[in-house]
Amino acid sequence: MADTNAAAGGCTCGEAEGGFPPALVAFIDEWKQKPGCLIMILHKTQETFGYISRNSAEQISRMTGIPLARVYGVITFYHFFKTTKPGKHKVSVCLGTACYLKGGGDLIEEARARLGIKPGEVTKDGLFSVDEVRCVGCCGLAPVMVVGQDTYGKLKKDMLPGIFEKYT
C-alpha cells in the first residue's frame, strides 16, 4: 500500500533544524507537497542516515505537517524501513529464490549466530548488523552475501568467520 496522500496544507516552516543535512532539507522541501511524498522522504532519510531515528521521524513530521503517528504508521508498515542504527558493516544475506534454494536461510541463521545477534540487532561493538535481502543480481554465485560494498558468492557456512574477521 503506497502512501499517496501528501499532508493537507503542508508545513511552510522550511527550517533546516534537527540535524538534517542541507541536501535532505532541500529534498523534503521539494517533495513535501507532492503525492506519495512521505515514502520518498522516508527513503531519502534512510539513505542519508542508514535508518530513521525517532528524532528524524519527528523532524519529518514537523517539516511536512504530516502527523507523527502517520509517519510511524508508514515506517512500521514497510519492513524496508529501519528504526535502529545499523552496524558499521551492513551484512546482507540474499534470500532470493536462487540463494534460498542453495542454503541462504541457513547462511543468515549462521551469520547471526556467529555474531551473536538476533534480527534487527547490532553487535555490541556496533560493527555488524545482518539483514535479509532479495536477489542482489548475481544468482549464478548463489548463495550470496554482501558486506558493505563487497559481494561474496558460492558461500559455505564455514567461510563466514574468515569474512567477518576482515572487517574487525
152 sits near ligand FES (criterion: CB under 6 A)? no
154 sits near ligand FES (criterion: CB under 6 A)? no
Q: Give the other-Cβ count within 10 Å of 130's Cβ.
A: 28
Q: Which residue is nearest to ligand FES (CB)?
A: 96
- What mask of x and - would describe binding to ligand FES in positions 107 to 136, judged by CB under 6 A? ----------------------------xx
**Nearest residue (CB) to ligand FES, 33 versus 151:** 151
Q: What is the DSSP string of 36-52?
A: THHHHHHHHHHHHHSS-
**Nearest residue (CB) to ligand FES, 40 versus 139:** 139
State the amino acid at position 126 in one-letter form. G
Question: For residue 42, which of 88, 90, 91, 77 has the smallest C-alpha distance?
Answer: 77
Q: Give the other-Cβ count within 10 Å of 64's Cβ.
A: 23
**Nearest residue (CB) to ligand FES, 7 versus 138:** 138
Among 11, 40, 139, 163, binds ligand FES (CB under 6 A): 139
CA dihedral 43→48→49→54, nearest 10 degrees, is -50
- What mask of x and - would describe binding to ligand FES in positions 66 to 105, judged by CB under 6 A? ----------------------------x-xxxx------
In angstroms, the CA 21 to CA 16 distance is 8
In angstroms, the CA 138 to CA 59 distance is 38
25 sits near ligand FES (criterion: CB under 6 A)? no
Shortest separation between residue 141's beta carbon and ligand FES, angstroms: 7
Binding site for ligand FES (CB under 6 A): 94, 96-99, 135-139, 142, 144
